[in-house]
Amino acid sequence: MWTIFYTILLIVSITEAKPRTDVTVSGLSSGGAMTAQLHLVYSSTISGSGVLAGPPYYCAQGSSTRVDECFQLQSYVSAGTADPTSNLKNDPVYIFSGRYDPVVFPDIVKLNRKVFSSFGTDIKTNYEMRTTHGYITDNFGGPCEFPDLKYFINNCSFNLAYDVLNHIFGGNLTKPTKSVPLTGQFLTIEQPALMNPESVNITVLKHTNIFSYWANWLKTSTNTYKLPGSIEISSVGSSSFDKEGYVYYPTNCTKGEKCPIHVALHGCEQGKWRIGDVFAKKTGYLEVAELNNIIILFPQIIATHSDPSNKEGCRDWWGYTSSNYANKLGAEMAGVKKMIDSLRAINDALDV
């Protein structure tokens, strides 16, 4: 009898120790709104999210100044432009709002709980911090209670990136307690190449499969490089994507470790066009990623003044790209999904 008992315990422990290889997402402000859109629409791919100081799903309805309680998802599911909502059951969701946020009011952010709880998700909220509108860290940014208009990052002696990812990954992540050597690879990536890998000239790269080529390159290169293989596209349609983005591969993730992917979305005025790699490098994601073997993708949006008009470089949460901005037909939604698909294909090739 005891033999059977210990055998069961061993099986359970092996099952629990199995590495995750899924995809999750988090983001601030307009990145928080895009986080909700991606999770709700691509729920068969995305298994957890962190909505940080962002409005709830489909609440602008064509205007960035209109935010009220609203909903549209089920009609998209019926039309096939969103995944079945049954996928959302038990998914971890983290919702954050600073008590003094003057940009996206706390009562607006809190509506996310009503939306996600209706699908049986596992929700953790953080509403009590005495802070304003910005990404919260424990070592970088402006004073906690005052707006940091340079980076929209506030030092509140709290590691929000860890708290979000720890909830998403079940509460057992290793927490950074001191400086973490980032010995992995922080890469600049051609976003059009990840979104259109079939258009990369693999003949020039002298390889037959772009994902195998990228995987082999990752295995043999060391630290801070630019992922090779670009295509002749100056912009990506009318979606406001910047030409370049970032991705971080922790040390073990190019050496056979099976690693999940987390997509971290900057907010308005936090893109590469304005603050370089500060959002990617100073918000705390990299340290948590390195310690816990999580690949982090940082898609970048650029400010545009016409076609489309997106002067602050925001994510599309109100329809500046098209009326389909909040479903699978949306330009930014589809673009991020394509980048996720490319990273997953690289992961598959790394296992070979």
Contacts of residue 14, Cβ cutoff 8 Å, sequence gap at least 6: none
Beta bridge partners of residue 124, listed in sequence order: 94
pLDDT at 352: 66
For residue 292, the one-letter residue type is N
- Count CB-CB contacts under 10 A for residue 63: 9
The residue written with tokens 């990273």 in the block is 343
pLDDT at 256: 81
CA 340/CA 343 separation, integer angstroms: 5
Longest dimension (CA), the chain: 72
CA 36/CA 55 separation, integer angstroms: 9
pLDDT 10s per residue in the chain (352 long)?
444 444 444 444 444 445 678 999 999 999 999 999 999 999 999 999 999 999 999 876 555 444 444 568 989 999 999 999 999 999 999 999 999 999 999 999 999 999 999 999 999 999 999 999 999 999 999 999 999 999 999 999 999 999 999 999 999 999 999 899 999 999 999 999 999 998 888 777 777 799 999 999 998 887 667 888 877 654 455 579 999 999 999 999 998 889 999 999 999 999 999 999 999 999 999 999 999 999 999 999 999 988 788 999 999 999 999 999 999 999 999 999 999 999 999 999 987 6
pLDDT at 32: 98
Burial of 59 (0-12, 13-18, 19+ CB in 10 A): buried
pLDDT at 7: 43
pLDDT at 6: 42
Residue of 112, 156, 109 whose CA lies nearest to 135 = 156
Omega cis (within 30) before 192 = no
pLDDT at 115: 93
Contacts of residue 77, Cβ cutoff 8 Å, sequence gap at least 6: 83, 84, 85
Q: Are 142 and 282 spatial neighbours (Cβ–Cβ below 8 Å)?
A: no
Q: What is the pTM of this model?
A: 0.92
DSSP string, 28-83: ETHHHHHHHHHHHHSTTTEEEEEEES-PPTT-STT-TT---S---HHHHHHHTSS-
Burial of 62 (0-12, 13-18, 19+ CB in 10 A): exposed
Q: Are 60 and 317 spatial neighbours (Cβ–Cβ below 8 Å)?
A: yes
CA 46/CA 339 separation, integer angstroms: 13
Helix (H) or strand (E) holding 208: none
Sign of CA dihedral 321, 46, 186, 182: positive
pLDDT at 144: 97
